Amino acid sequence: MTAVIEGRGLTQDYRISGGLFGKAGTLRAVNGVSFRVERGKTLAIVGESGSGKSTLARIIALIDTQSGGELLIEGAEVNLGRRRPSPELRSKVQMVFQNPYGSLNPRQKVGDVLMEPLVINTRIPAAERRDRAEAMLAKVGLAPEHFNRYPHMFSGGQRQRIAIARALMLNPAILVLDEPVSALDLSVQAQVLNLLRDLQDEFGLTYVFVSHDLSVVRYLADDVMVISKGEAVEQGTREAVFAAPQHPYTRQLFAATPVTDVEAIRARVERRSAARLARTGG
């Protein structure tokens, strides 16, 4: 099966200052990482803070230029340092950030937040932009009346739904999700993860999911890549990595991470929703 997105030996170097008495040098944040993700699948990138996983995510999302290696999207090589990507290419990859409080402009109404990608990247008439934005609100579990409200009027989970809706407005093939549920309460995490699964099935989306939460990874991922000090120390299917981690760092990471039963939380949320519907008759 053809990979939708593929990395071959990706590296990312940063120049660091030596200060008054030190010597300037180079920090390698990503060191020769390779991966491939097929259409409709989820690759989880796992590692501790500072491991390089978010740096890699920014390269995949076409935000930062890699220092070396190859990045291919639907078979075509992409290198921001050599050539500016076309609007069509940029629309294929969208990113959802960790903090739903900081990723939305507090001065923009939700409808304007959702329509902005269409204003910048398309010539769609205003009426159609509004129709698409209201339809996307419904897709993520919000209502048309939310169109004219401001981000501060929503809960954290609702704001992350808005951020996901915005990322989907240009019909991307790939979503890069950088710790998208880590700032949310556990019950809200389960709701957002269910939403991501449903959207992936409906639109055939490919996910690159960055997380330190192994319970979330186990629930959502098809394949897992473990990053340590910028290097991919272990890769495999979710079942293989969780059943028998091979690298000492992976075993150490698993041993040090508390386990949250996301499946149990999801089931509890669904039972509550069913009971609420039964009470209201809807």
**36 — pLDDT class (breaks 50, 70, 90):** very high
Reply yes or no on whether the pLDDT at 282 is more than 60: no
Sign of the C-alpha dihedral computed for residues 152, 183, 164 and 137 taken in this order: negative
pLDDT value at residue 280: 64
d(CA 140, CA 99): 17
Q: What is the DSSP string of 84-139?
A: PPPHHHHHHEEEE-S-TTTSS-TTS-HHHHHHHHHHHH----HHHHHHHHHHHHHH
Q: How many domains in the chain?
A: 1
pLDDT of residue 6: 96
72: amino acid identity, one letter: L
Structural domain of 114: 3-280
Mean pLDDT, rounded, for 185-207: 93
The CATH number of residue 91's host domain is: 3.40.50.300
Give, as one character, the DSSP assignment of residue 151. Answer: G
Residues 234-249 have pLDDT tens digits of: 999 999 999 999 999 9
Q: How far apart are CA 183 and CA 164, in angstroms?
A: 15
Q: What would the pLDDT profile of 2-20 be if each residue is shown by its tens digit?
A: 799 999 999 999 988 766 6
Which of 103-112, 211-220, 252-261 is predicted with the least confidence, judged by mean pLDDT? 252-261
Q: Pick from 279, 270, 206, 246: which is nearest to 41 by CA?
A: 206
β-pair type (42-46, 223-228): parallel
Tell me the pLDDT band of 267, cut-offs 50, 70 and 90: low
| SS3 state at 200 | helix
